[in-house]
Amino acid sequence: MDMKTFEDSKFVLHRTKFFILITLQIPAIIISLLIFAFFIKHRTTLNALQNQALLILLIVTFVELVADLPMPINYYYLGYVSPATPSYCNWWTFFEYSIHLISELLMATISIQRHALIFSPNIFQSRLNLYVLYYAPLAICVTYPFIFYFIIILIAPCDGTQWDFTSNMCGYANCYLLYDKFLGMFDWAANNGSPVVVIMLANLALVIRVIRHKRRQQGGYSWKKQRRMTVQLVLISSLYLFAWLPSLTIGVTQIMNSPIFLANIQTDYTLDFMYLISLLSPWIYIKLLPDFKRWILKKVRRDELTRNTVRPT
């Protein structure tokens, strides 16, 4: 494709997305860095297992903010993929699919583990259970997507003629999505669909269990702690459900029924919802970490006092 004569038929839409992404990306990066600084200054905060899981999620979303989002931002600024090469499209889709799936699998695993943290916290007092039931599942969530997409995207690519350099993510034209119905369905339904179902059901079950437990306990400190941990999970998981459900519904329908089903809606809008996870989750973490808010307020007040202090001459 001759980029010199290329005209962006969706210039307004692309520039709007560019400014939205840039506007949300910069503060998200700043907040993420502040949260990292908070964890470094307050290492004891990581003694709570739920905070360790949140830190892992934050690291994944931060990697997306600084390493993955610049690629769609560059596309929406130019209106075309640059560099327009098959190798770049292979790398872009491999990296973005992996990061998105890692984040989704982590959220599903955390949703299940939160039940144990709230109702059976003693189960993790055993070192064996801690590594087998807590850390090992999180490690699998991080490694499996890279291995899976490395095999089906980088090891066995097509000849490269299928890519669309005028569309975001090169038209999502990976070989397995175009020519292998089984792999395409497995990726959409099993890899991406089942974690969404787990997130939805696990959170619904958690809310029901906490409400029932509250009625039995009639308040108390344990209820306040359970409520706080439940609210944490529901807030962050709601973002995942909003980001994934529309595109998953359309994607599975396209593979099972018609490839053109809501195709324009999918490529122009719903697939971009996934970027909201990394862009908005740092703001949610502020709500999830009350000590972080107090730390920031204390530093701001200290700086104000320093500036306003009148020194004698």
312, pLDDT greater than 70: no
pLDDT tier at 290 (50, 70, 90 boundaries)?
A: confident
Question: What pLDDT does residue 311 have?
Answer: 54
Domain boundaries, the chain: 9-293
Q: How far apart are CA 44 and CA 291, in angstroms?
A: 11
218, pLDDT greater than 80: no
Question: What pLDDT does residue 232 have?
Answer: 77
Question: What pLDDT does residue 298 have?
Answer: 82
Bigger pLDDT: 225 vs 151: 151
Question: What pLDDT does residue 50 have?
Answer: 84
Q: How far apart are CA 274 and CA 246, in angstroms?
A: 10
> Quick one: three-class SS letters along 182-251?
HHHHHHHHHHHHHHHHHHHHHHHHHHHHHHHHHHHHCCCHHHHHHHHHHHHHHHHHHHHHHHHHHHHHHH
**Tens-digit pLDDT profile for residues 78-105:** 999 999 999 999 999 999 999 999 999 9
Q: What is the mean pLDDT of the chain?
A: 86
pLDDT, mean of residues 34-44: 91
119, pLDDT greater than 60: yes
Q: What pTM did the predictor assign?
A: 0.89
Least confident of 231-240, 250-259, 280-289: 250-259
Determine contact, residues 114/206, Cβ cutoff 8 Å: yes
* CATH of range 9-293; options 3.40.120.10, 3.20.20.210, 1.20.1070.10, 3.10.20.30: 1.20.1070.10
